[in-house]
Structures are given as structure tokens and as C-alpha cells.
Structure 1
Amino acid sequence: MLLVLGILLNSCDKKRNTKPDTVETKTNLFDLNTTKTLIKEKTKQFTEAHIIKDTTYLNSIFTKDARVFPPNSEAVSGIKAISQLNTDWVNYGIYEFEEVSTAIYGNEDYIIDEGMYYLKYGEENTIDNGKYINIWKNVNGQWKIYSNIWNTNLPLELSDSE
């Protein structure tokens, strides 16, 4: 009986100390091309949400600690402040909005999406175009915008007093 117990304990100990031949890391699971396709789809949903005034989606696409850097304005930090910004933007009346990625790169934690945008909004049908950078962060397997900045390509208009 003692011999059988010794053999069982010895075999369990060997199983515990055995290391696998390969270790699957987070990096091995990351596929940049698949992620690029996903980011492009999320970007399309992001722009469409502005047109249909879907602030629920817009608020869910940002991380809780996100930062937004709108043109001609102070930076906005945190989901509560970004939620207000989203409400303000959709209330301008966005009729057309498109973002086109010109470069997407990164890793399993962060993706940088650089691109150009076209925007038509407001009662005067204001047209704007410019460039943007979105930094996407992987939060528990979900890609969310961690940082967003955009600015216009339109020339600065000087007031009559200058």
C-alpha cells in the first residue's frame, strides 16, 4: 500500500513540474490586419452614430478615462465630460460625416488610426474637412477610443477688426 501511494505522489509531482513546450502569449493571438478591419468598421459606426444622434453608442465607444481634444477648445477628459461633448456635437445637426483612415498601426494594447475627415453640419450646412488621430485601447477584449483629436484644413478666418 505504501508503495502504491509513493508512486501516485511521484507521478502527480511530475505532472505539476512539467512545463509545456510552447507558451501561447498575448502577442501570438494578435492579428493587425484583422484589427485594422475591425477599427475601420468601428470608425464607420462612430461616424454614423453622429448622423443619427446615437449618443448611447458614442458614449460607449470611449474608455472611461478617455481624452478628447476638439479644435478651438479645451481638452475634455473622462466619460461624463465626453458624454456632454457628444450631446453638443450631435445637436449641431450633423448631416454628413466620414472618416477615412490613411494609416493604422499598433499592437495588442493600442492602435493608432490616422486619417482625414469630411463633415457637414448646422443650419448653414457648414462644410469642414481636416485630419484626425484616434488612439484605440484594448479594454478587456473591446477596442475603445482612448484619445481623439481632430482639426480642420480650412483657413483661419480673421475678424474685420484685424
Structure 2
Amino acid sequence: MTKAYFFIAASIICFYISSCKSNNSEKLPNLEAEIQALDKQWAKSFIDSINMKFSEQIAAGDSSALASHYWPDAELLLDNSEVVKGNDILNAWGSAIRAGIKEMTFSTTDITASPALIIETGNYEMKNEKKLLIDRGKYVVVWEKRNGDWKLYRDIGSTSMPAAK
């Protein structure tokens, strides 16, 4: 009788283990396909087009359009300032434009992408209306996809210019 219980218990355990393994193996290909669906080439094209829009919006002095690229819970983290959140991002871009930024160029150096996030690393240059360099530095931005839309979740910039004396 003990052997029969042992055999039944062993059969149930084997069945349970094999059914768990088959569920996991079915999920992995779907995850891999989803990750591959957002390839780096698409992400680079998307980032390049958005960076071009950013440059055009800065040249036009359109802080509202610039702020529209950010999620409501986004954060802007820049040198020598506190974290800028939410609606204050509009004010930050407005201040930058009023300070004389007329041209801003972006050069993406790396992109890492998943179905829900894109992490972009790059360099920037800011110039005034006379095309004089105001600032240059590096940045990391995190784009997040929500409800089919991609917007900025985190925007971190750091100057490469020496500190003023």
C-alpha cells in the first residue's frame, strides 16, 4: 500500500513539474518576440524625429510644445537646480527660451530599447540667436510608452562647460 501511495504521489509531482515547465516555455518566446518588435532601428528613427521636433520648437520659442513631450509625472534633472516636475517643466523651458536659447542640437550616442522604455544617451549644444555657444553637454533621457504614446519620463542633462569663475 505504501508503494502505491508513493507511486501516485510521484506521478502527480512529475505531472505538475512538467506542466509548469510547458507554461514557462510558452511565455518566453512571446516575451522575446515582443522585445524584438521594438528594434533599435525603429527606436533610432523615432528619437531622431523627436529630436528634430525639439530643435524646431526651441527655435520657434514654443515652450508649450516642448513640455508636451513629457508625461505629467516626468522629471527634469539639470545642473545646479532642484528636480523640475510636472507643470514646472513648461516653466523651465520657457525660462530657457527667455534666457536666449535659440538653437539646440542633439547627437544620440546610444539607444537601448524595450517594448515599454527607450533609454537614449547623447550630447547637446545650445546656441543663442547670434549662433554663439551657450552650453554643451551630455544627457540621458528615458522615454516611456503609455497607452500607445511615447513621452519623456526622465530627462537628465549635465553641462560639459567649465564652471564660471
Shorter chain as normaliser: what TM range? 0.7 to 0.9
- The aligned residue for residue 59 of structure 1 is 67
Q: Over the residues paired in the alignment, what is the CA RMSD in angstroms?
A: 2.4
Q: Distance in 2 between matches of 1:116 and 1:122?
A: 20
Residue 94 of structure 1 corresponds to which residue in structure 2?
101
CA deviations on 1:12-61 (whole Å, 9 max, x unpaired) are xxxxxxxxx99966446433321221111101111221111122211210
Tell me, in whole angstroms, the C-alpha distance in 2 between the residues paired with 1:54 and 1:82: 13
Q: How does 1:10-49 map to 2 (within 5 A)?
A: 26-27=34-35, 29-49=37-57
Kindly tell me: are residues 96 and 28 of structure 1, through their superposed partners in 2, closer, same or farther at Cα, counting changes over 3 Å?
A: closer
In the alignment, what sits opposite 1:144?
Answer: 151
Q: d(CA) in 1 for partners of 2:118 and 2:94? A: 26
Q: What TM-score, normalized to structure 1?
A: 0.74
Query: What is the alpha-carbon distance in structure 1 between the residues aligned to residue 73 and residue 118 of structure 2?
Result: 16
- Cα distance between partner residues in 2 of 1:36 and 1:135: 13
Counting aligned pairs with the same residue, the percent is 29
Question: Are residues 122 and 71 of structure 1, via their aligned partners in 2, closer, same or farther at CA, if it must alter by over 3 Å?
Answer: farther
Q: CA deviation at 1:136?
A: 0.6
Aligned to 1:134: 141
For 1:124 and 1:95, locate their aligned partners in 2 and report how far apart those are by CA, in whole Å. Answer: 8
Measure the CA separation in 2 of the matches of 1:37 and 1:124.
27
Q: Number of residues paired by the alignment?
A: 137
Q: Please state if 1:108 is matched with 2:109.
A: no
Q: State the distance in 1 between where 2:76 and 2:98 align.
A: 18
Instruction: State how far apart, in whole Å, the 2-side matches of 1:157 and 1:93 are.
Output: 18
Distance change >3 Å, CA 28–CA 70, structure 1 → 2: closer
Deviations 1:66-85 (A, max 9, x none): 0001211111111x111111
The separation in 2 between residues aligned to 1:74 and 1:122, in whole angstroms, is 27
Q: Which moved more, 1:115-124 or 1:147-156?
A: 115-124
TM-score, normalisation: structure 2: 0.73
Listed as ranges, the gaps of 5+ residues in structure 2 are: 1-25
Stretches of structure 1 lacking an aligned partner (at least 5 in a row): 1-20
